Amino acid sequence: MSEGHVSSTPSALMALTSAFLWATYYFFVLAMTPGTAPSAVATYPFLIGGTAYVAWAAYWGHGRVVLQLFREGSAWVRVALICMMQLSVLACTYLAGAVDTSLLTLLGDAAITPLLAMIVLREGRHRARSPPFVGGLVLAGIGATLTIVAGGTAVGFRGLSLAIAPLVPISVGLFYILSAKEGQRRPSSALVGQSTLAGGIVFLLLAGLLPGGWHGLLLATPLPVVLMFGLAATSFFIAPALYFRAVARSGIVLAAVFQVMIPIFALFLSAVLLHKIPAPLGLLGVPIAVFGGFLAYRGAQTPAPPTTPEAALLTEGGTLAPDAPGDAPETAPQDVN
């Protein structure tokens, strides 16, 4: 099926739902603050979400793949990236708040990930010649920067904390692009499940070095426990599952660009739950970022030039491994329905 005849609606709905669920991350964290130690917030969602993810992979018959990944060095590179992503996003949430942190993740999702897809996966390189796509990525970056700087909360980044902010988009982009690359030959449920569960084990072993320490892992009241399970289910299991399903259907570029809605959802939740809205000039950056993401999405749908079947596999990201046994391997531009 040619790219021009593919319905992107199912992928869009999955990507948008994952964006909303990831936007709730910041508010789960803030709802647990200051009564819950960062060591617990960093550890338990990984352990709970990772266990659910691995159970899901085992249900589809990919438990052996998960065990194999624990013995591979490249898998531990992804574990290091997901741990860095969790620590940097958690720190930025404490320092700068939900909206600014969501815009940092936007840079990773809507800018760094598509660019890496072109370089590493060779997916959609023709999009680099699309003015809407390139211009949209630039606008998304400008809008995110405007809200973070003009919004006034970036003053919280001082000293060593200045090094934290760039880690968010870098770790987000690298983790998802490396996972998508490995997902061309292995089920994403096994890949993400192993990375998430292994990340939880790493944080459990290093909890003594995190704020709150070992003692912070003790949750004395029911509310933090409920919130922890909610955070694990939404941001560490359901959201990535939907995201990588969208990647399998339509390619990582389209799925990543849809994450431009995370700051919009975060802004809405911030206004409703926390009654906080950025300064007017900073608020202006949000529609600029979203409009840039919309342009990038439209530009990303530019049909690829005619090519040979062998070259098409490289151009569109190759074959994606199925999650369910018995399913045919999926190619990025196909609609599986």
Give the tens place of pLDDT for each residue, 229-254. 999 999 999 999 998 888 888 777 77
Going by pLDDT thresholds of 50, 70 and 90, the confidence category of residue 201 is: very high
* Residue 238: C-alpha distances to residues 205, 231, 309 (Å): 25, 10, 34
Q: How high is the pLDDT of residue 2?
A: 35
Q: How high is the pLDDT of residue 85?
A: 86
Question: Does the pLDDT value for residue 193 go beyond 80?
Answer: yes
Q: Which residue has the higher pLDDT, 87 or 44?
A: 44
Six token digits for residue 290: 């979203």
Which pLDDT tens digit goes with each residue over 115-148?
A: 666 666 565 555 566 787 778 878 877 877 777 6
Q: How high is the pLDDT of residue 203?
A: 94
Going by pLDDT thresholds of 50, 70 and 90, the confidence category of residue 303 is: low
8 Å CB contact between 323 and 192: no
Six token digits for residue 334: 């196909």
Write down the mean pLDDT value for the chain. Answer: 76
Instruction: Encode burial over 223-238: b for 16+ CB neighbours within 10 A, e otherwise.
Output: ebeebbeebbbbbbbb
Q: Which of 30-39, 52-61, 87-96, 203-212 has the lowest mean pLDDT?
A: 87-96
d(CA 205, CA 199) in angstroms, rounded, equals: 10
Question: Does the pLDDT value for residue 155 go beyond 60?
Answer: no
Rg (CA), the chain: 19
Average pLDDT over residues 271-275: 79
Question: Does the pLDDT value for residue 304 go beyond 60?
Answer: no
Q: Which residue has the higher pLDDT, 220 or 15?
A: 15
Q: Which residue has the higher pLDDT, 321 or 11?
A: 11
Q: Which residue has the higher pLDDT, 202 or 303?
A: 202
Average pLDDT over residues 287-316: 60
Q: How high is the pLDDT of residue 66?
A: 95
Q: Which residue has the higher pLDDT, 29 or 98?
A: 29
Q: pTM for this structure? A: 0.75
d(CA 9, CA 17) in angstroms, rounded, equals: 12
Q: How high is the pLDDT of residue 64?
A: 94
Residue 165 CB neighbours (<10 A)? 22
Query: What is the share, in percent, of the chain residues with pLDDT greater than 70?
Result: 69
Which pLDDT tens digit goes with each residue over 59-108?
A: 999 999 999 999 999 999 999 999 998 888 887 777 766 666 666 676 66
Q: How high is the pLDDT of residue 23?
A: 86
Average pLDDT over residues 161-186: 78
Q: Which residue has the higher pLDDT, 166 or 32?
A: 32
Q: Which residue has the higher pLDDT, 58 or 298?
A: 58
Going by pLDDT thresholds of 50, 70 and 90, the confidence category of residue 333 is: very low
Average pLDDT over residues 255-264: 76
